[in-house]
Amino acid sequence: MKFLHTSDWQLGKPFGRAPDEARAALLEARLDAIDALAAAARREGAGWVLVAGDVFDSPEPGDRVYRQALTRMKSADDVRWALLPGNHDPARADGLWSRLAGEAPANVIACLEPEAMQLDEGAWLLPAPLQYKRTFDDPTTWFDTVSTPAGALRIGLAHGPVTDFSSGGGAANLLAPDRAKRAGLTYLALGDWHGRRAIDAFTHYSGTPEPDDFGREVTGVALLVEARNAVAAPSVTELPIGRYTWLVEDWMLNEVEDVDAQLASLGGGVERRHLVARLKIAGLLTLAGRVAVRDRLENGLAHEIRWLDLNLADLYARPTAHDLADIDANGVLREAAERLQSMAAEGDAQGRRAAAALERLYIEHQRAQRTGA
């Protein structure tokens, strides 16, 4: 039996901190992932797509996202979808899932009860839906005792971490890492972690199909799982699904030219328009250098990629005699520049402000020169 394992779609994630134009695109990309998954399933001959929780970003994603999701799944009617409530969209009474159970198309199944469900001939799904955002009982415990026809494939579907990373213990929704073994599962499809991770040969996190944040170990894949029998480890293949690559990089610049090398290698072969980058630039440059770097990033790269979250706070400018001469050899502006430079040397909040003012003076001066003043 072949099926796709995916999780953490988190449809409707708002990306409120991103600029408007990026926000809409990022939101839409998550919906597009459904189409990409449907296409992949079709291509690979997988009849089912099992979604291991957090289909939606919240228990009430709103009608648009809800309808879009259902419509897209419905239009891929040669694929069947099993959806599991996760901690972001727990199956509480009268909420989203109650509606979805009543309104979903025939090829979409909401797994709202912890009971075995036949997927195909000889293949049973054991879903562990979350009823609450946080539960402290392992929702997969019942897998151990539930019986399925002899020789049938037992496929677990659950949402939660297998490791407690919290300092004080007592993490919510914690799952037993050896559940597959204990419950005699052929495969345990897990969700919650946005990065793809194999726990053992039978237990896998697929990660989110569409990366959604900086600094996460994400790959933007779905897993193609092929189970031949109930005992052998299934074969698991990663299928690329995601559109955007989220990068977090810290650049140390010693001179302006360093930025060129960094820019050239940014994102490897990923298309620039599919890049989302958080850059933290550090270093000490001349004033002219800092202005040039800022120009390259703010007026160049920022427009090339989907969203540039740029932090130049640690990119310091040490105005050189040349920089100051650029502003003026003498005269009022030179005097102002020198005053600002000495204020900036203080390094406190006012100093940082003075550094910014000096840079602004430099830029305005250049601009004035360009316009022929």
Partner 1 sequence: MIVRELGIENFRKFRQPIRLTGFDSGLNLVCEPNETGKSTVLEALRAVLFERHSSRSERILSFRPHGDDVAPVVDLKFEVGDCSWTVRKRFIQKAEVSLEGPGVRATGDEAEERLQALLGFTRAGNRGADENTRGALGLLWLEQGSSFVLGAPGQAARRTIEEVLAGEVGAVTGGRRTAVVVQAVEKSLGDLVTATGRPTRRLAAAQDALEIARANAAAALQELTEFEGVLARLEGKRGEYRRLLRDLDDPEQTEQLKALERDLQQARLAGQALHTSEALLREAAGVRERLETRSKARSELRAALTAAEAELVEVRATAQTISADLEAAKKSEADAATGLETAREGLRNAEDQRRTAQVLRAGAVRRQAVSAAFERLDRAEALARELEAAEAEVEASPLTPDALEQVEALERHRVETHSAATAGAATLRLGLLPKAPRVSWNGEAVAPNHSAPVIGRLAIDIDGVGTVTVEPPLGGQAAQAAMRAAVDDLNAFLAGNSVATVAEARSQARRRAQAEQVVDTLTRRLADSCPPDSVLGLGTGLDALRGFLVQEERPETGAASAAPSGEAEDDERWETARSSERAAEGRREAAVQALRKAEAEDIRQTAAVERAQADVERLASDLKDDTEGLDDEALALAFAEAQTAEGRAVVGRDEARRATQGLDEEAISKRRDSLAAKLERMREDRLSLVQEIAMLEERAKTLGGAGPASRAAATAELVDAAEAMCSRLKEEVEVLSLLDRVIREAEQEASRRYLTPITNRVAPYVTRLLPNSSIVFSEDYAPERLIRSGHDEIAEHLSKGTQEQLAVLTRIAFADLLIEKGKPASLVLDDALVFADDDRFETMLEILTEVSTRMQVIVLACRTSAYRGMPGNRIFIS
Q: Is 153 in the site for partner 1 (CB under 8 A)?
A: no
Minimum CB–partner distance for residue 177 and partner 1 (Å):
30
Torsion sign across C-alpha atoms 53, 57, 62, 68: negative
Query: In this structure, how many other beta carbons lie within 10 angstroms of the beta carbon of residue 184?
Result: 14
**Taking CB under 8 A as the rule, does residue 92 contact partner 1?**
yes
Nearer to partner 1, 164 or 214 (CB): 214
**Residue with smaller CB distance to partner 1, 21 or 77:** 21
Q: Residue 173: name the closest of 127, 117, 131, 113 by CA.
A: 131
Question: Nearest-CA neighbor of 141 among 192, 88, 178, 190?
Answer: 178
Report, in Å, the least distance between residue 353 CB and partner 1.
5
- Our finding on whether 365 is near partner 1 (CB under 8 A) is yes
In Å, what is the CA distance from 202 to each residue of 13, 195, 279? Answer: 30, 17, 38
Binding pattern for the stretch 297-336 against partner 1, x by CB under 8 A and - elsewhere: -------------------------------xxxxxxxxx
Member of 44, 47, 95, 256 binding partner 1 (CB under 8 A) = 95
Which strands sit side by side in the sheet containing 80-83, from one edge to the other? 108-110, 80-83, 48-51, 2-6, 221-226, 235-240
Binding mask 14-53 for partner 1 (x = CB under 8 A): xxxx------------------------------------
Structure tokens at 109: 């199944």
Does 351 engage in binding with partner 1 (CB under 8 A)? no
Binding residue (CB under 8 A) for partner 1 from 2, 35, 47, 58: 58
Instruction: Single out the segment in contact with partner 1 by CB under 8 A; choices: 64-72, 137-145, 191-199, 230-238.
Output: 64-72
**In angstroms, rounded to a whole number, what is the distance separating the alpha carbons of residues 254 and 71?**
52
Q: DSSP character for 95?
A: S
Other Cβ atoms within 10 Å of 344 Cβ, number: 23
Going by their DSSP bridges, the two strands 235-240 and 245-253 should be labelled as unpaired
Give the binding-site size for partner 1 (rule: CB under 8 A): 48
In whole angstroms, give the CA distance from residue 27 to residue 11. 8
Minimum CB distance to partner 1, residue 93 (Å): 6
Is 270 a residue that touches partner 1 (CB under 8 A)?
Answer: no
List interacting residues with partner 1 (CB under 8 A): 12, 14-17, 57-66, 92-96, 99, 328-336, 339-340, 343, 350, 353-354, 356-358, 360-361, 364-365, 367-369, 371, 373
